[in-house]
C-alpha cells in the first residue's frame, strides 16, 4: 500500500549508492516511503537490489536499480548520466557506498591507502561533481562517520578518506550554494561488519555516552531531514549517541 508522500519528496528522484543493503537499504526505504522515486545503486548485491526495488515500488512508483563498480572510473562516471537518461532529473544524491578496512598507519602502504581513498573519497567526490554539473538544483548527502570529529589511527585509510570527504562536504556547500546544498551524516555504532555477530558490539557501547547503538532507521531519518531542510548546508549531523564527543 502506497503511503501519503511528504510534499518535498513528491516527484523527486534520489540516487542512493550502496543502496541495496545495510544502512543504504534503510535510506532507500525511507525516501520511497516519503514519496521519492529511488534509484538504488549496487556493485555486487544485485539480488538484494532487485528484491528491494520490488518493495520500494509498493511505496513509490518508478523505483529501479543500477549496477556499477565505483572503483572503475568508466562505470562510476556513467552513473549519474544513467539515472538522468532514465528519469530526466536527479534531485538528491546520497553517497552511502564505502569500504571499511581497519589497519594501523604502519600497515597502510601505498596500495592499501589508494584502495581506501578511491572508494571512500574519490568515488563520492566525483559523483558530487557530476551531480553539481548536471542538476539545476538539488541536495547531496554524504554518509561520513563519527570518527571525522576525532582521531582513530586504527581506522587507517578509511578514516583519512572520510575526513577528506567531510572537508569536501563543507567546501562544496560553500562553492555550490545556493543551487546545491551539501551535508553529511556521521553514524556511530550502528551495525557490526558483515559476518560479525552483533554481540561483539556490546563492549564498545561502554564508550557511547547514551550506552546504546544507533539504528539504521535513525540514520535514514537524518538523511530525510537534511534533504528537506532548505536552509541547511555544510553541516554534519552525528547519529552516534554522543560518541563523537568522547
pLDDT average, residue stretch 162-187: 98
Residue 47 has pLDDT above 50, yes or no: yes
pLDDT band with cut points at 50, 70 and 90 for residue 240? very high
Q: Which of 137, 143, 125 is nearest to 28 (CA)?
A: 143
Residue 2: inside a domain: no
Residue 99: inside a domain: yes
The total number of structural domains that make up the chain: 1
Give pLDDT, residue 2: 55
Residues found in the chain: 246
pLDDT band with cut points at 50, 70 and 90 for residue 4? very low
Backbone angles phi, psi at 181, to 5 degrees: -95, 145
Q: Which domain holds residue 238?
A: 13-245
Residue 6: inside a domain: no
Give pLDDT, residue 194: 81
- Identify the CATH number of the domain in which residue 109 sits: 3.40.50.720
pLDDT average, residue stretch 52-76: 98
For the chain, the helix, strand and coil percentages under 3-state DSSP, each to the nearest 5: 50, 15, 35
Cis peptide, bond prior to residue 26, ω within 30 of zero: no
pLDDT band with cut points at 50, 70 and 90 for residue 5? low
Residue 5: inside a domain: no
Residue 70: inside a domain: yes
Give pLDDT, residue 28: 98
Residue 8: inside a domain: no
Percent of all residues in the chain with a pLDDT value above 70, rounded to a whole number:
98
Residue 3: inside a domain: no
Residue 7: inside a domain: no
Residue 3 has pLDDT above 80, yes or no: no
Cell numbers given for 151 = 582521531
Amino acid at each position: 500500500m502506497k503511503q501519503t508522500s511528504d510534499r518535498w519528496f513528491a516527484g523527486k528522484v534520489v540516487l542512493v549508492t550502496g543502496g541495496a543493503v545495510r544502512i543504504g537499504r534503510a535510506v532507500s526505504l525511507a525516501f520511497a516511503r516519503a514519496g521519492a522515486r529511488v534509484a538504488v545503486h549496487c556493485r555486487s548485491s544485485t539480488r538484494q537490489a532487485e528484491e528491494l526495488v520490488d518493495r520500494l515500488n509498493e511505496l513509490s512508483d518508478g523505483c529501479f536499480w543500477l549496477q556499477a563498480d565505483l572503483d572503475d572510473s568508466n562505470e562510476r562516471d556513467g552513473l549519474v548520466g544513467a539515472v538522468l537518461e532514465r528519469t530526466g532529473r536527479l534531485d538528491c544524491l546520497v553517497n552511502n557506498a564505502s569500504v571499511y578496512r581497519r589497519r594501523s598507519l604502519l600497515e597502510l602502504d601505498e596500495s592499501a591507502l589508494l584502495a581506501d581513498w578511491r572508494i571512500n573519497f574519490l568515488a563520492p567526490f566525483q559523483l558530487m561533481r557530476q551531480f553539481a554539473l548536471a542538476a539545476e538544483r538539488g541536495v547531496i548527502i554524504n554518509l561520513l562517520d563519527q570518527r571525522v570529529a576525532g582521531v582513530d589511527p586504527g581506522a587507517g585509510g578509511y578514516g583519512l578518506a572520510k575526513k577528506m570527504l567531510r572537508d569536501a562536504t563543507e567546501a562544496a556547500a560553500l562553492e555550490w550554494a545556493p543551487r546545491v546544498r551539501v551535508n553529511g551524516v556521521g553514524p556511530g555504532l550502528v551495525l557490526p561488519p558483515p559476518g560479525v555477530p552483533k554481540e561483539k558490539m556490546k563492549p564498545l557501547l561502554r564508550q557511547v555516552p547514551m550506552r546504546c547503538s544507533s539504528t539504521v532507521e535513525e540514520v535514514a531519518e537524518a538523511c530525510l531531514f537534511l534533504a528537506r531542510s532548505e536552509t541547511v548546508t555544510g553541516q554534519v549531523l552525528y547519529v552516534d549517541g554522543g560518541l563523537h564527543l568522547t
